[in-house]
Amino acid sequence: MRVRRGLWSTPAGQAAAREGTGRVAARDGNSTNRKLDLAARAAWLYYIRGRTQDEIAAELNVSRQNAQRLVALATAEGLIKFRMDYPITECVEMAERLRDRFELVFCDIVPGERREETPLAGIAISAAERIESYLSSKAPAVLALGTGRTLRAAVAQVSAMERPQHKIVSLVGNLTRDGRASPYDVAMRLCDKTGAQCYPLPTPVVADDVEERKLLQSQRWYKTVSSLVLQVKASFMGIGEIGWGSPLHVDGFITDQELAGLVSAHAVGEMLGWAFDQNGDLLTTTFNERLTAPPLAVPAKAPTIIMGAGSAKAPAIRAALRGRLANGLITDETTAARILALD
């Protein structure tokens, strides 16, 4: 019986088969690589660029189902590695240290932004959450607000709600020396968002003399504000450094001469205009005597939360906490580290 040998049984045929198999394997390998390339692109578009599956499908010229499979393939093949670059542990530890060192009732340290000197957004969100925690109460409450850029940003983050039972009191005058309204007055902004009752303080931050300050404080509306301040559930305020270029001076609330006097008196910071030294002691100067803001409670009784960040503010924040002018703090991790290093 004659057996007919096929081509693949000959040495030449076997060699050709091996070559053909190699080409098929190469094609399969190229196909796999191509699919992984597409999967990586799809995952990048989805996780990094935040694109939807429909947008990914259009950009890669595949169906929506294939776009979904490509993203899943990238995860299955280990092409995606998730890392939360959020130093929450360090923030919590520093918050605990600050609480213990200055006997604070509240402290929140937000992660620093390497690209920004002052991470305003993170501080504003944290402050907004704290403000909302008081506004969420059904029982009527009085909240007191200072002024400033950080506090304005915080109020902007507060969710709209109807809270007509609450009262919002302004702790500082909202007029500059030339009579302009402060763009950083936030009491009315918060009331617009929440329907709360608003009690502003329509005075300059600093009166021309003690007699004018007494006259302003003798008005009926001022006495109403003063009585409400004694009932506050919590106070929120910014904090400023004292120096050339400080907000209190740049925004027109005090004159060059007044600032020079504060610098000469070794003031390092101010809250509601009240100037204090490196130990947190309020200055006994004619400047403080002319302030129209209600006096600060020393030590702070109700939760008195200051917010701010930046290398220039660190000495002022540390002094305010050391002098018990405030018992709450919201800042970023870089500023917190500087405060701890100073003390």
- Note the helical H segments in 158-209: 187-194
What is the C-alpha to C-alpha distance for residues 86 and 164, in angstroms, rounded to an integer?
38
pLDDT at 81: 66
Distance of CA 261 to the CA centre of its chain: 33
CATH domain 88-342 topology: Rossmann fold (3.40.50)
pLDDT at 306: 98
pLDDT at 22: 47
Return the structure tokens found at 238: 């910014």
Sequence letter at residue 52: T
- Note the helical H segments in 195-329: 210-217, 220-229, 247-250, 256-264, 286-289, 314-322
CATH 3.40.50.1360 residue ranges in the chain?
Answer: 88-342
The b/e string for 184-216 (b: 16+ C-beta within 10 A; e otherwise) is bbbbbbbbebbebbbbbbbbbbbbeeeeebeeb
What string of pLDDT tens digits covers the 343 residues of the chain?
A: 333 334 434 444 444 444 444 444 444 556 677 788 888 889 888 987 788 999 999 888 899 999 999 999 988 888 876 554 555 778 888 999 999 999 999 999 988 755 444 567 889 989 999 999 999 999 999 999 998 889 999 999 999 999 999 999 999 988 877 777 777 789 999 999 999 999 999 999 999 999 999 999 999 999 999 999 999 999 999 999 998 888 888 877 888 999 999 999 999 999 999 999 999 999 999 999 999 999 999 999 999 999 999 989 999 999 999 999 999 999 999 999 999 998 6
Which residue from 233, 308, 303, 299 is spatially nearest to 269, judged by alpha carbons? Answer: 308
Return the structure tokens found at 204: 């300059």
Determine the 3-state secondary structure of 279 from DSSP: coil
Q: Are 202 and 293 in contact (CB under 8 A)?
A: no
Strands (E), the chain: 106-110, 142-145, 167-170, 197-199, 234-238, 240-241, 269-271, 274-276, 304-307, 328-332
Q: How many CB atoms lie within 10 A of CB 257?
A: 8
Q: Which helix (H) or strand (E) holds 42?
A: helix 11-43
- Report residue 77: phi and psi, to 5°: -85, 5
Residues 16-47 pLDDT 10s: 444 444 444 444 556 677 788 888 889 888 98
Q: Is the peptide bond before 200 cis (omega within 30 degrees of 0)?
A: no
pLDDT at 10: 47
Half-sphere exposure of 139 (CA within 13 A, CB side): 2
Q: How far is CA 172 from CA 77, 201, 209, 229, 297, in A?
A: 60, 6, 17, 11, 14
94's CB contacts (< 8 A; 6+ apart) are: 109, 333, 336, 337, 340
pLDDT at 165: 97
pLDDT at 113: 58
